[in-house]
A and B are shown apart, each in its own frame.
Chain A
Amino acid sequence: MIRYIIRRLLISIPILLIGSFACYVLVATAGNPLAEMRFRPGVTEADIKAAEISLGLDKPVIVRYWNWLTDFVSGDWGQSIALGQAKTAVFPAVTDALWTTGRLVIGAELLALTLGVSVGVLAAVRQYSIFDYLATSTAFLMFSMPIFCVAVIVKNYGIQFNNVLESMGLDRWLTTAGPRPGGFSGSFGEVIFKYTGTFLLPTLALMLISFAAYSRFERASMLEILHSDFVRTARAKGISQGRVIFKHAFRNALIPVATLFSLNFGAVLSGAIITETVFGWSGMGTLLVNSVRQFDPPMLMGWLAVTATLIVLFNLFADIVYGVLDPRIRLG
């Protein structure tokens, strides 16, 4: 197992290197970070030359990439060169954003997995029941929904729950602004109150989308397994229905969902970016949008490197889970 993990990590290093080089070239050719400087009054050609030299833009791309890479690996992720927030360090900016987005993604994914898998199993066990029709058609509908529309709807209708609370004489609970950078203050109860109030609506919006995919997949694979020979054999031996479903079918039916979970990570990330934008959080989404708009190569490279590494690690994690779920798959 440990050998497998080490080997996988070693394989992903060249992939990440090539990926980061491709991204670097793309970012370097896509725009000139000094383009806006030219339009500012009083900027002479000499100023631009000086800025170019101080940013190292006069060197060839491959040299710049090498400098960036060595700095990045040694922990110096560089500074933002966007006009508005020049000199902001990239590392804290990216990690802060990641912390905000990460909490949203983890909560939503855990909820979506639990709910999606349970609904999928129930729908498969009670195939063609009313519950099954409801679950499948909801899942199909959610699957075809644009995530930003779901987020807008959840945000606007969800926030009205506050009015209900107020009419009952309670405090307003839900907020749509992001978590405060310094964390929440107050007593333990107050922190929980603020935390849930902040996270509930965006988590719900993000969860609904992933939930659709998980329940569809779980239902399909559960049905396939419930119709397979070994389940019939288990039933014929007189094993109780519950035992057949949980010991024999359920564990096997989780395997395709694990695959989906790992491949889905990129999609969930972009879902989180969109949800954040609708709710006005300052997470990875806002960071990306701002860095692209102001064209800030160091920030973009930090963003891309962190997300690509996360996706690689996530795929590895999913493969390990895969091996645990299915003993027929030998990792090694």
Chain B
Amino acid sequence: MANINLASEGGVVNSAPQSDSHEFDASKTRTQSQLVLRRFLRHRLAMVSLGVFIFLVLFAFLGPFIWTYDYEDVTSKSYQPMSGIHPLGTTQVGKDMLALLMRGTGYSLQIALIVAALATAIGVIFGALAGYLRGFVDTALMRLVDLLLIIPQIAVAAIVVKGFSGSWYVVALVLAAFAWMQIARITRGETLSLAQREFIEAARACGASTSRIIFKHLVPNMIGSITVNATLAIASAVLTEAALSFLGLGVQPPDTSLGVIVLENYGQFMNRPWLFWGPFIVLVSLSLAVNFIGDGLRDAFDPRQTKVRA
């Protein structure tokens, strides 16, 4: 995003004259993580997005305690228009849309965060093992990646959800099982080049175990791309979960999610548009915010990349 880069560059240029000497002194004592954090905090779009994300988290998890209606409450009034009592109207069975949205956002967030955490953990461990141990382990793990890439995720997820249960955590587990390959490939690539470096050789010469080398030496050196890809995994998990639930093959009622809410209400697009646009705006702002945060993190971890990037 060119405009983001321009904004962040502008920010640096503006602040440079006042804090020139200060910056010079400070840069001596600053650690890598402080530098990254500083760059991230100066990334305006990422900060705005972080604000939106935090707002959505509060909306989903604190909102239900404040709002008068519960997502399970069925009022007698079907398809109420937007009003002070029901700011986003009610659905066909008379559920308050705002309460539903809070609950749906909560489930979507929970699923996305679990998927991203699991996918990152599996991806990093498998990728680092494959890249560090090479040989048989590498071949076996990469063939597993190839295998999972040819099986359509949407079908497998649908079959598992149908066969076992439509609870939100089952959906999260299935999605995670198909989300780690990208991170594994990236981690493997970085490990392959890092493993050739002297410090890894030195660690091995000192007798460090494989797990120590991976977690103490390799992972901290890849933390940038791991964080960025974990963030992007959240964004894609939000969309995948919503798509699966939209097909009726993901989260099953009485559980709800943003995809389920859209599925139940998109037929009212022309007559009661607010029932569609409400969940739509939450879904898009969630995925946009997470994507922008990922972008900001990428800029913060690797400022050289900012010039040339999509």
Taking Cβ atoms with an 8 Å cutoff, the residues of A that contact B are 15-16, 18-19, 22-23, 26-27, 29-31, 127-128, 132-133, 136-137, 139-141, 143-149, 152-153, 156, 216-217, 219-220, 223-224, 227, 263, 266, 269-270, 273-274, 277-278, 285, 288-289, 292-293, 295, 300, 303-304, 307-308, 311-312, 315
CB contact under 8 A between A304 and B235, given known A136-B310, A137-B3, A285-B247: no
| Among B150, B248, B284, contact of A289 (Cβ-Cβ < 8 Å) | B248
Q: Which stretch of B31-39, B156-164, B205-213 is in the interface?
A: B156-164
A30-B162, A146-B243, A147-B243 as given contacts; A19 in contact with B284, CB under 8 Å: no
Contact present for A303 and B310 (CB under 8 Å): no
Of residues 272 to 310 in B, which have CB atoms within 8 Å of A's CB atoms? 276, 280, 283-284, 287-288, 291, 307-310
Determine chain B's interface SS by DSSP, over half rule.
Answer: helix
The distance from the CB of A131 to the nearest CB of chain B, in whole angstroms, is 11
Q: A221 CB to closest chain B CB, in angstroms? A: 8
Complex alpha-carbon distance, A266 and B247, angstroms: 17
Q: B242 — nearest CB in chain A belongs to which residue?
A: A146
| Chain B residues with a Cβ under 8 A of chain A | 1-3, 6, 143, 146-147, 149-156, 158-160, 162-164, 235, 239, 242-243, 246-249, 259, 262, 266, 269-270, 276, 280, 283-284, 287-288, 291, 307-310
Which A-B residue pairs are the 5 nearest by beta carbons? A30-B163, A220-B310, A216-B310, A144-B287, A144-B288
Question: Which among A141, A149, A278 has the greatest number of chain B C-beta atoms within 10 A?
Answer: A149
Contact B155 A19 (CB under 8 A): no
Contact B280 A149 (CB under 8 A): yes
Q: Distance in Å from the Cβ of A323 to the closest Cβ of chain B? A: 19
Q: What is the bound-complex CA distance between A269 and B247, given in angstroms?
A: 14
Q: Which residues of A contact B291 (CB under 8 A)?
A: 140, 143-144
**Further contacts, 7 of them, CB under 8 A, given A26-B160, A30-B160, A136-B2:** A18-B147, A128-B6, A133-B2, A136-B310, A144-B284, A148-B262, A293-B162
Bound CA span A19–B151, Å:
7
User: Do A30 and B152 touch (CB < 8 A)?
Assistant: no
Contact B147 A156 (CB under 8 A): no
B1 A227 Cβ-Cβ under 8 A: no
Partner of B308, one of A216, A224, A300: A224
Residue in B2, B153, B248, B307 whose Cβ sees the most chain A Cβ within 10 Å: B2
- CB-CB under 8 A from A153, the residues of chain B are 269
Residue of A nearest to B288 (CB): A144
CB distance from B32 to the nearest CB of A (A): 26
User: Which chain B residue lies CB-closest to A308?
Assistant: B150
Q: Are A220 and B158 in contact (CB under 8 A)?
A: no
Chain B residues, CB < 8 A from A300: 155, 159
Do A304 and B160 touch (CB < 8 A)? no
CA distance A26 to B156 in the complex (A): 8
Query: Could you tell me the distance between the alpha carbons of A207 and B184 in the complex, rounded to whole angstroms?
Result: 29
Taking a contact as CB atoms under 8 Å apart, the answer to whether B242 and A292 are in contact is no
Given the complex of chains A and B, what is the CA–CA distance between A266 and B148 in angstroms?
A: 11
A27–B159 CB distance below 8 A: yes
> Which residue of B1, B151, B242 contacts A23 across the interface (Cβ within 8 Å)?
B151
Which residues on B sit within 8 Å (CB–CB) of A308?
Answer: 150-152
Q: What is the CA–CA distance of A111 and B159 in the complex, to the nearest angstrom?
A: 32
* A312–B152 CA distance with the chains assembled, in angstroms: 11
Please indicate the chain B residues that have their CB under 8 angstroms from the CB of A295 in the complex: 162
Chain A: minimal CB distance from B234 (Å): 12
Q: Taking CB as reference atom, which chain B residue is nearest A311?
A: B150
A-B contact pairs, 28 of them (CB 8 A): A15-B147, A26-B156, A30-B159, A31-B159, A136-B1, A136-B310, A140-B288, A141-B284, A141-B288, A144-B287, A146-B239, A146-B262, A146-B287, A149-B283, A224-B308, A227-B307, A266-B152, A269-B154, A270-B243, A273-B247, A288-B155, A288-B158, A289-B247, A292-B158, A292-B159, A292-B162, A295-B162, A315-B150
**Cβ contact within 8 Å between A304 and B155:** yes
How far is it, in angstroms, between the C-alpha of A195 and the C-alpha of B220 when the chains are bound?
A: 56
- Complex Cα distance, B283 from A141, in Å, reads 12
**Contact present for A19 and B308 (CB under 8 Å):** no
Q: How far is the CA of A185 from the CA of B280 in the complex (A)?
A: 39
**Complex CA distance for A224 and B307, rounded to whole angstroms:** 9
Q: A220-B308, A220-B309, A270-B243 are in contact. Are A311 and B155 (CB under 8 A)?
A: no
Interfacial chain A residues near B276, Cβ < 8 Å: 152
Nearest chain B residue, comparing its CB with the CB of A212: B310
Whether A19 contacts B147 in the complex (CB less than 8 A), given A30-B162, A300-B159, comes out as: yes
B179 to chain A, nearest CB (A): 12
The answer for the CA separation of A18 and B149 in the assembled complex, in Å, is 13
The answer to whether B146 touches A15, judged by C-beta atoms less than 8 angstroms apart, is yes
Complexed CA–CA distance, A315 and B1 (Å): 29
**Which residues of chain B are near A220, meaning CB under 8 Å?**
308-310
Closest Cβ neighbor of A147 among chain B residues: B243
Cα–Cα distance between A19 and B249 once the two chains are bound (Å): 22
Chain B residues whose CB sits within 8 angstroms of the CB of A16 once the complex forms? 150
Query: B158, A304: Cβ atoms under 8 Å?
Result: no
Assembly CA distance A140 to B158 (angstroms): 29
Tell whether, in the assembled complex, residue A289 and residue B249 are in contact, meaning their CB atoms are under 8 Å apart: yes
Most buried by A among B147, B235, B247, B284: B247
| A136-B2, A148-B243, A152-B266 known; A22+B284 contact, CB < 8 A | no
